[in-house]
Amino acid sequence: MIEMTSKELREDLLEFVEHEGKIRFALAPIKRLPKGLPGTWRNILGADDPVKTVLEELWFPWRDLLPETIAQLEEKLQYIGLLQTNQVPFSLVYVFEDEEEPIYSRGYPCQPIERDEAEKLPNHFLDLYKIHNGWTDIPGPMGWLPSEYWFDLGVLYEEEYSEIIPDVRLKDFLVICNSGGSGFLGFDLSKSPPVGLLCSEKEPVQVAPDVVRTLDEWMADLLEDLT
């Protein structure tokens, strides 16, 4: 298990989030919690065993939704911390270990999804946003993106169509998970109901019949590989 203080972890995080302005970071349990935290987060960050509490409060109610990821969280999660920046007032930082070095995931506070596209998306996908409004790697975007950061592939490519996803207009493909490289998981919104697809510049397009299941497997594999 990594033995690092809040100060040491803050210094390590700094290179990834310094663009967000002034940074505060503390490992839970935290005695003096800032005002404005979601109530559930107050319970987690003030608990004697914050790792156990975050799993019980946020994740276990959705075990049927993300069974593989939650199993890995139970095994691999080491610490929970609160990150505060000028750009993002509050986020939970999940600390893991890989080759004796800390690595992080970041969960954002739940909020109403103010995206028109949400009306077309499966309810069980939207249930992810009852855990966090986005849960992603630091510094990468692996995981489900905050709803305000969903994007269509048209923002990355100038043409209307691309070989990365043949027969689908790029602006019709809503990305909800970006592997951090050239892989994208999302929905073809031109279909009713939307069709889940996994596309990449390196591999043929694959249909993802259940986007949440694909995401669960993807995230769990990454956690399982931590050493």
Quickly list DSSP for 37-81. Answer: --HHHHHHHHSSSHHHHHIIIIIGGGTTTSHHHHHHHHHH--EEE
Lowest mean pLDDT across 102-111, 122-131, 194-203 = 194-203
**pLDDT tens across 3-41, in order?**
889 999 999 999 999 999 999 999 999 999 999 999 999
Distance CA 190, CA 198 (A): 15
pLDDT grade, residue 164 (50/70/90)? confident
Looking at residue 103, its pLDDT comes to 94
Structure tokens, 129: 């946003």
Q: What is the Cα–Cα distance from 92 to 103, expressed in whole angstroms? A: 13
Beta-carbon contacts of 166 under 8 Å, excluding residues fewer than 6 positions away, are 205
Give yes or no for a contact between 174 and 87, defined as CB atoms under 8 angstroms apart.
Answer: no
Q: Tell me the percentage of the chain whose pLDDT exceeds 90.
A: 84
220 phi/psi in degrees, rounded to 5: -65, -40
CA–centroid distance for 13 within its chain: 17
Say which range, 10-24, 109-123, 178-192, has the weakest mean pLDDT: 178-192
State the pLDDT at residue 180.
63
Q: Is pLDDT above 80 for 216?
A: yes
Read off the pTM: 0.95
Alpha helices in the chain (DSSP H): 6-17, 39-46, 50-54, 67-76, 123-126, 211-224
Q: Are 27 and 6 in contact (CB under 8 A)?
A: yes
Sheet of strand 206-207: strand arrangement: 151-152, 173-178, 183-188, 195-200, 206-207
Three-class DSSP category at 191: coil
pLDDT tens per residue, range 63-105: 999 999 999 999 999 999 999 999 999 999 999 999 999 999 9
pLDDT at 154 over 80: yes
Inform me whether the pLDDT recorded for 141 exceeds 80.
no
The model's pLDDT over 168-184, given as tens digits with 9 standing for 90+, comes to 999 999 999 987 666 89
